[in-house]
Amino acid sequence: MKTWVVVLLVLVVLVVAAVGTGAWLFFKRPLTVFAWQTRLALRGAGLTRTTVDSPAGPQVVFAGGTGPAIVLLHGAGDQAGTWFKVAPDLVKKHRLIVPDLAGHGSSAPPAGPIDTGAVYAGVEAVIETLSRGEKVTIVGNSLGAWMALLVAHRHPDWVTRVVAVDGGATTGENVQARVLPRTREEARESVKQTRDPGSVAIPDFVLDDIVRQAAVGPLARFAATAATMSQWTLDGHLSEVKVPVDLVWGESDHLMPLDYARRMLTELPHARLVAIPRCGHVPQVECPSAFLAALRQVLEEEK
């Protein structure tokens, strides 16, 4: 058989194998594929991947742009790529610092329980290392909002403003929250708690991957340390946060309901609330245009 025929056959086999592997990944590990795509999108927006040493181990950060610094902190079980829809707009006028929280994405620790203290230590190290001695605005979603308020409480001289997106640093009261589903139906209910009913339905094969991730992913590893989380809350101390705080909330969020935001509003001395209609727990993904509009208003008022 001629050499060129052999080469052609090998190429065909490789292409078929690649297509087959891609199809398997798409239907069996859709959350992994989505994470890869979002992280590539951050790079496409001009952010570069770097690593920062921390007490929790090396923390992976996507950073880039020029102007006033914004730190974007994702929620539990998520990763830096969650900001992929809004980063291209924000990076036009700001220097973005977008870390994987400790134990999430590619940040250490790679295995085992994720302690709240490790997550905070990772964020603190990232800001101290990459802020260049300048004050930063911290925009945090869910767990990221918790970490943002902790930084503002402990290091007010580091922070210009906190934008808490569907999250905070006080104990919640949602006893019906379902964050670690064990079946497809439980995953469907979990999704309903975090998204607006009018949003595009999540396919069954994605729900199945949510169940798989709930058993082995970073959210499960973080939940394993629930007994130690109370020492990292600001229950009874929220009024000590003197940095201006804006609460940006999806009105359809049933995981962290709007009542939680209203309660924080009464305790924070310098806070405002903006509610986004027809939007759930992760506005930067579900309704990025409305989220950007709310965030731009906040950032413009800083000038």
Taking only the tens place, the pLDDT of each residue in 250-292 is 999 999 999 999 999 999 988 999 999 999 999 999 999 999 9
What mean pLDDT do residues 81-108 have? 98
Find the mean pLDDT for residues 2-26. 45
pLDDT score for 254: 95
What is the predicted pLDDT for the residue at 9? 44
Q: What is the DSSP string of 201-240?
A: PPPHHHHHHHHHHHHHSHHHHHHTTGGGGGGG--TTTGGG
With a cut of 70, say whether residue 15 has pLDDT above it.
no
What number is the average pLDDT over the span 182-206? 95
What whole-number distance in Å separates Cα of residue 303 and Cα of residue 279? 28
Answer with the residue of higher pLDDT: 6 or 49: 49
- Is a pLDDT exceeding 70 seen at residue 6? no
The pLDDT > 70 percentage for the chain reads: 90
Mean pLDDT for the chain overall: 91
Non-local (6+) Cβ contacts of 216 within 8 A are none
Residue with tokens 């297509």: 19
**What single string gives the DSSP state of each residue in 48-106?**
EEEEE--TTS-EEEEEE--SSEEEEE--TT--GGGGTTTHHHHTTTSEEEEEPPTTSTT
Residue 3's pLDDT is what? 53
Whether residue 238 contacts residue 268, with contact meaning beta carbons closer than 8 Å, is answered with yes
Residue 302 confidence (pLDDT): 64
Q: How confident is the model at residue 25 (pLDDT cuts 50, 70, 90)?
A: low
Place of tokens 């949510």: 210
Is the confidence at residue 11, as pLDDT, over 70?
Answer: no
The predicted structure's pLDDT at residue 27: 58
pLDDT at 175: 62
Model confidence pLDDT, tens digit, residues 219-255: 999 999 999 999 999 999 999 999 999 999 999 999 9
159-184 per-position pLDDT tens digit: 999 999 999 999 987 767 778 999 99
Q: Sign of torsion, CA 136 70 148 267?
A: positive
Which domains occur in the chain, in start order? Answer: 3-302 (3.40.50.1820)
Query: Going edge to edge, which strands form the sheet with 69-73?
Result: 48-52, 59-64, 95-99, 69-73, 136-141, 159-165, 245-250, 271-276
Write down the pLDDT at residue 28: 75
Query: What pTM was estimated for this model as a whole?
Result: 0.91
Which residues on neighbouring strands pair with residue 136, listed in sequence order? 69, 159
Tens-place pLDDT, residues 34-46:
999 999 999 999 9
Reported confidence tier of residue 8, pLDDT bands at 50, 70, 90: very low
Identify the pLDDT of residue 5: 45
Cα separation of 242 and 166, whole Å? Answer: 20
> In this predicted structure, what is the pLDDT of residue 217?
95
